[in-house]
Amino acid sequence: MTDGRKKRCLIETLGLEQVVDHWWQLQLDMLPKDRSPNIQQLWCLLVEEHAYSGSYKSVRKYVRSKFPAAKLRPFRRIETPAGAQTQSDWLEAKIDIGQGSPEPIYGFLMTLSHSRMTAVVWSRSMNQLAWHRVHNEAFQRLGGVAAVNRIDNLKTGVSHGAGPSGEINASYRAYARTMGFHIDPHEVRQPQQKGKAERRVGAVKRLDLSRRFASLDELQQYTDEQLRRDAHTRLCPVTGHSVFDTWQSERELLRPLPATLPEPFDLIRTCPVHKDATIRFEGRTYTVPFAYVYGTVEVRGCSGFLEVVDRNNGEILRKYPRGTDERLLIDPTCYEGDATDTVAAPRPLGRMSRRLNEIASTGVPFRSIDIYAQLAEVAR
């Protein structure tokens, strides 16, 4: 014979009904009329303050049985104007790149939200250098830069926090400023906010990636050809024309690519310029043009070298090898040129300095004792 009595839930067993009722009513009084209390917060309250040992699902089940259901909230469908937005995402696939067995390869996908034109760039890494490089190549394939790029909350894009309130990665922010686009991270756990890119991820994974490719370049060429063919046959729902034809019109509204694309970099610093026209970066000292004395410059750590950049206009002022054994790297041309409105030109080299430079340029095997005798004469 079965027991017909209703089984009590843990909240009722512990006598927490009034706690839940009181909290729920307080939330209704504080929240806007179109918002319902957060059941996750209620569960945390019960666990932390009332030693509740039940699961989140048990609290949700109790709430749904006791309180009216929240109103359904439809999503607003918005079609992005031409040239306004790209959506970007990573995908991962195991592909045989001439090794005899599949290995993890990462594909960076960027889609123009209006035309649905898509570019995919393959990479063996998803680090900061790769993040900038794949952006460069994706923008080249799309023929320009849209005003906004919507991204996920990965660390190469958002260093702290998430969504619109997150802190943008400093290197990525500098890259975006150079390329001329705004970074728009979507909200946490809201992948539908870049749904156009999400859908194209599935389409790329349906390509014949199980075949063997001789190199990463061959994989890239195959993907480019397949996406271009797909763009000719797939219709853009906004215009009713092919994605390719719609993209041709949208390209005219994209920001043109700079004459020289920025080198990928994984570290960026704003460095003060000292009175001797030097800066410090990664434990080394470098000279910069004297006109920047007592100001600041931007230094970007690239692969194998660094760039010194004017923070106002993005001009590359100097390039130096990165991570050298030398701790002091001096470019004499940094002390040449005319004075500016605020900075006087350095004094010219004296006789001794000029003679030392001449000796240095001759090379050790060709220096005679007479040269050093002449140097002593200069010093008198």
**pLDDT value for 372:** 55
The radius of gyration of the chain's CA atoms, rounded to the nearest angstrom, is 31
Q: Alpha-carbon distance 215 to 43, whole Å?
A: 52
What fold, for 265-335? OB fold (Dihydrolipoamide Acetyltransferase, E2P) (2.40.50)
> Which two tokens mark 263?
């080198």
Kindly give the confidence (pLDDT) of every residue in the chain, 380 residues in length, as a single tens digit, with 9 standing for 90 and above.
455 555 678 999 889 999 999 999 999 889 887 788 999 999 999 999 999 999 999 999 999 999 988 777 777 778 899 999 999 999 999 999 988 899 999 999 999 999 999 999 999 999 999 999 999 999 999 999 999 999 999 999 999 999 989 999 999 999 999 999 999 999 887 888 899 999 999 999 999 999 999 999 999 999 999 999 999 999 999 999 999 999 999 999 999 999 889 999 999 999 999 999 999 999 999 999 999 999 999 999 999 999 999 999 889 999 999 999 999 999 999 999 999 999 999 988 777 667 666 666 665 555 555 655 665 555 55
Does CATH number 3.30.420.40 belong to domain 85-253? no
**pLDDT value for 36:** 84
pLDDT in tens, 88-131: 999 999 999 988 899 999 999 999 999 999 999 999 999 999 99
**pLDDT value for 369:** 57
Q: Alpha-carbon distance 122 to 126, whole Å?
A: 10
Beta bridge partners of 298: 270, 309
| Rounded (10°) CA dihedral 368, 372, 374, 376 | -170
Q: Alpha-carbon distance 14 to 46, whole Å?
A: 11
**pLDDT value for 191:** 80
DSSP 204-240: HHTSS-SSEESSHHHHHHHHHHHHHHHHHHSBPTTTS
Q: State how beta strands 85-97 and 212-213 pair.
A: parallel
| Rounded (10°) CA dihedral 165, 171, 172, 174 | 100
Q: List all residues 6 or more positions away from 234 whose beta carbon is below 8 Å from its beta carbon.
A: 116, 242, 243
DSSP 352-378: HHHHHHHHHHH-GGG--HHHHHHHHHH
Measured from the Cβ of residue 81, the count of other Cβ atoms closer than 10 Å reads 13
**pLDDT value for 375:** 54
Model pTM? 0.74
> Which two tokens mark 317?
């002022």
**Of 318, 322, 283, the residue nearest 297 (C-alpha):** 318
| Pair 304, 322: CB distance under 8 Å | yes
Residue 59: phi and psi, rounded to 5, are -70, -45
List helix spans (H) across 234-332: 243-250
- 112 exposed, middle or buried (CB, 10 Å; 0-12, 13-18, 19+)? buried
The angle subtended at Cα 165 by Cα 160 and Cα 166, nearest 5°, is 20
**pLDDT value for 298:** 97
